Amino acid sequence: MQEASRPYSDDEDALNEVEVNGNWTPQEKALHEARLKAKAKRRLRKSSSRNSTSESFSESGDVPGGDPHSPKGKVNTNDRKSRAGKGRGLPKKGGAGGKGVWGAAGMVYEDEEPDARDPNYDESSQGDTVYATVVPEVDEKELEKMVNPIVQEYFEHGDTKEVEMLLKELNLGPHKYEFSSLAVSLSLEGKASHRELTSRLLSDLSGKLMSQSDMARAFDKMLKELPDLILDTPEAPQMLGQFIARAIADHVLPMSFLDCYKGKVDCEYARVALDRAAVLLTMKREMVRLDNVWGVGGGLRPVKHLVKEMNLLLKEYLVSGDVSEAERCLRDLEVPHFHHELVYEAVVMVLESKGDTASHMMIKLLQSFWKTGLITVDQMNRGFQRVYDELPEISLDVPHAHSIMETFVDLCYQESVITKQLRDACPSRGRKRFVSEGDGGMIKN
């Protein structure tokens, strides 16, 4: 009985001592194995009961048998202890881990240099930050689509600084020389004023966005493309030669540009262009710039020059009587906003002329311009209104100006050159009535 009342640990110690000494008996060995199996069964029952408790605990959220209204009976969802009943019940990482945790107590952090690539980098606390804008390089296939609108708008406003600003925003890369060749190609299909604007644009861009070597590459490409350009513009070789001469005179191209092609050109059209440039440079060697190689286009002409051109046009018409030639000359001036000056000069010539020949010829000319739409209603009205306003001054040199004007306006209205409102607006000077003393107040007829 005393042996049975001994603790289990004492029996194990005794068995261990026997095992160590090597004195095992069959009975003792069987008893030892039975105790080991019993111990394993107790451990298995204990672990299974603990797992079943944790499963019910996780599902219901309450401790079995506890009061749900009691603080001890509720589960603390913010508790860092393991709910599976494993571990020592201590918080993870010693309380130094998890979201919103500063770290373990007593931990000292070293000062770190701010990293601009850090997503938590604060610009306001670190000073000014410079952001580099990266513009992708323009593809060669997309270059023409992006350049054409810029050049077409430039032909309307003529502001080279705006073109320069737009080109700076584009990353043309190694294809920037193609802008010059595209601009020249578009101007070949346009007017003389467009070619004049293109020459000015190349002069202003030279040294800023493009070097002489870039310009030389552009014109070399144009010379090679002449067989294709001549299909749309038969005069392309002569025009390109004028472009080259103007570019050399403006120091856009080097003076040795023509010398590089001597004896090396097989294309007939390229030889025509280079010969044209050489002839112009030889004739205009004393001039610093070939300013008039394209003429002076449109609104770029001075007003006095435009007035002189229109006056000369009308005088030639009165001599020749060729309406089509007068129409061609007026279109070449490219100043539709200034056609009222032609109307004004035509009416003044009628007032200053002798006989009815000038009157009928001018009516025929104005009627032709009116029907073709070359002179609009607004321009026609402005031209006649200017004569109406200056009629008192004109009558000082032409005493019968009022009566001539009334007759001419009636004829213009009959030929549908002017409107009824414009005819009624013509000023008429009232006749003076003289009363003598012997007439008894009778008005002389």
Q: Is 131 helix (H, G, I), strand (E, B) or coil?
A: coil
* Mean pLDDT for the stretch of residues 312-330: 90
| Structural Rg of the chain based on CA atoms | 52
**Alpha-carbon gap, residue 46 to 198, rounded angstroms:** 97
Letter for the amino acid at 88?
A: R
Is pLDDT of 286 > 50?
A: no
Residue 374: Cβ within 10 Å count: 16
Residue 69: Cβ within 10 Å count: 7
**Average pLDDT value over all residues in the chain:** 78
Model confidence pLDDT, tens digit, residues 108-120:
777 667 677 777 7
**Alpha-carbon gap, residue 355 to 360, rounded angstroms:** 10
* Mean pLDDT for the stretch of residues 287-292: 56
pLDDT band at 444 (very low <50, low <70, confident <90, very high): very low
**Alpha-carbon gap, residue 240 to 234, rounded angstroms:** 11
Instruction: Please answer whether residues 75 and 62 qualify as being in contact, where contact means their C-beta atoms are separated by less than 8 angstroms.
Output: yes
- Quick one: pLDDT at residue 265? 85
Instruction: Please answer whether residues 240 and 198 qualify as being in contact, where contact means their C-beta atoms are separated by less than 8 angstroms.
Output: no
Place of tokens 């000073």: 127
Model confidence pLDDT, tens digit, residues 354-375:
888 899 999 999 999 988 888 9
- Quick one: pLDDT at residue 46? 73
pLDDT band at 296 (very low <50, low <70, confident <90, very high): low
pLDDT band at 1 (very low <50, low <70, confident <90, very high): very low
